[in-house]
Amino acid sequence: MRFSQILSRTPSPARPTPPNLPRAALTPRRLKPAEVYGLAVRQARAVVASLRSKPARLPDLDAVCQAVDSVILGLKEFPSGILAYTERSTADDYLPGHLANVCILALAAASKMDLPAENQRALGVGALLHDAAGPSLDPKERLALLGNFLNSMEPSSRAVVENILLQREEQEAKLVQLCHDYETQSHPGPSHSRRLSHDVLRALIERAGENYDGNLLKKLWDTLSLFPPGSFVRLSSGEIARVLEISEAHPIKPRVQAVAGPAGERVREEKILDLSQPGAASIEAAVDECAVKLQDPSLQLELKAQKWWMDS
């Protein structure tokens, strides 16, 4: 592929059958992007804590599904706003942030696929669990640890989650693995530093058809574009700007907010630019906001701090 181509509970019958993935008792209230991301991180943190405890405890399926439901609902209303937070990491332990980011990325890409609602929801659950016990467990050990958890699901939903945990050659599993690889490379980890999300996407796309399914890569591309929400760019005007919202019609001409002027000075007044408009500046390059030279030391610290999610 060329770069340019780029779950509800039911009454038990005479013989009990496992329920579907449980739905929240009440329709989740509409959350702001930061609230959605915070909920996903807190639930990921709870899952990691339960599986790391001695002895390990099973995650709360209802709580996991409620977090996934909130992400699905939030992505329908504020896709770019929520995706922007996936540029962040959790400072004390990388794993909760990684799980939350992969869950959000996979669900955002899945929204562009013709998946049944229950499969989409099960995909979110699988993504939130896919690496929850950390790299010390292989997929089969992780599946055995979560056996009772999975047995509480309806068979078709359980199959989706099992495929993800076992990294099988099914589209939901391959999508989660793609998002896992993208997130891992674009965020700092225990043994590696981050690369710009722009550069990671380009590298993944160049390997379409080799290591990755080209159709799934296109879904991720359609979700993030070449300059993902939350990333930073240098404009032809010399300004440094943060990507706010991608344009499906013009994927390399997003809405951005200028944060620093051509000389590295702080932009005092809010300055939102729609790069798809005639005469607007263009993007010259993706930049590492933590490495650009700025005149204002406090702005430099603010931009560095924005790479990390702090639980409120």
Portion of the chain with pLDDT greater than 70, in percent:
88
Predicted confidence (pLDDT) per residue in 161-210, tens digit = 989 988 888 999 999 999 999 999 999 988 888 999 999 999 998 887 77
Looking at residue 251, what is its pLDDT? Answer: 87
Looking at residue 27, what is its pLDDT? Answer: 53
Looking at residue 125, what is its pLDDT? Answer: 95
Question: What ranges do the domains of the chain cover?
Answer: 33-224, 231-306
The structure tokens 């490495």 sit at 291
Looking at residue 312, what is its pLDDT? Answer: 67
What is the average pLDDT across 242-261? Answer: 94
CATH 3.20.20.80: does it fit domain 33-224?
A: no
* Residue 263: pLDDT over 50: yes
Model confidence at 136, in pLDDT bands (50, 70, 90)?
low
* Residue 72: pLDDT over 90: yes
- Global pTM reads 0.88
Looking at residue 209, what is its pLDDT? Answer: 74
* Residue 6: pLDDT over 50: no
Which one-letter amino acid corresponds to residue 210? E
